[in-house]
Amino acid sequence: MHMKGKWLTFVLTDEDAGQSLEQILKDKMSLSGRSIQRLTRMKGIFVNQKKAFLEKKLKTHDEIKVRVEESNPNIPIFNRTIEVMYEDEWILVINKAPDLKVYPTHANDVQTLANAIQFYYQSQKRQAGIHLVHRLDTGTSGAIMVAKNSYAHQLFDKELKNNRISRTYIAIIEGAIQEEVDTINLPIDRCPTHQTKRCVSKNGEEAITHYQCLGKTKDYSIVKIQIETGRTHQIRVHFAHLGHPVAGDRLYGSTNRNITRQALHAYQLQWTHPIDDRKQCISAKIPADIQKLAQHIEMTEILERLE
């Protein structure tokens, strides 16, 4: 399977012969029933350069082409430069600045990452969508993946749900954490007494956080974290529950005033591309404010080992 321009192409092998077009679209090209219906309506599916019925039985070397082009979303541009760390026909990986929230929540909300991506597309004269594969909180910096069309979003969302996209974070937390390596497996739910907060609750959704302590003093620890689930505020809630809030995270009880946001950074994304099986590992440089905090607490050398 490969992409050229706005068309995704799949050529049948002997193993695929005898299956219907609909079967191949679902099983080999991972298209949902809804996507197939939409593509059929817009005349976006061809077999050997011709329109074909979904029930058509296919043979070896038949070539299926599916249109995956998507227009830019109808949102205003935000004239702000973004750091694109990786880009191909399917996705962008961006190093999100901590002050940006990822998507607008109302009509006048234009200073978001999505609006900045829209500006990037227009400045590059690109036609593409903005589909977040995962999210980062406002106040959290680092690597975030954005799909350029709904088909790519469907594929990468499936990879994420099957834990085939590895997400690694770096955080400075308050206090000397006891366990050097551990897994926090505590369910998370909305906090009943606060509109924004989340809390550990037996009635919540499963939330799994793996961490390794990279170094600590009596007042702070620097931890490398991998999340198996992606609940809202998951890392922040889990460490606060253990009595080690992320430094600067006032919402969850941090008393640190040497950083103006939570000292949490999405450091690395690793994945195998679901289209062409390429392995990728993209790291986002630790931002200046977290480096400054590390210097203040005399733990700079730990972050330097990551560079």
- Name the residues annotated as catalytic: 137
Structure tokens, 212:
């390794």
Distances (CA, A) of 234 to 20, 87, 205, 296: 43, 28, 11, 26
CB neighbours of 211 closer than 8 A, spacing ≥ 6? 181, 182, 183, 184, 223, 224, 225, 226
For 281, list phi and psi in degrees, rounded to 5. -140, 115
Q: Where are the beta strands (DSSP E) in 141-187?
A: 141-147, 165-174, 181-185
Structure tokens, 136:
């980062």
Find the distance separating the first CA and the last CA of the chain, reported in whole Å.
36
Alpha-carbon distance of 259 to 267, in angstroms, equals 18
Q: Residue 29 in contact with residue 11, Cβ under 8 Å? A: no
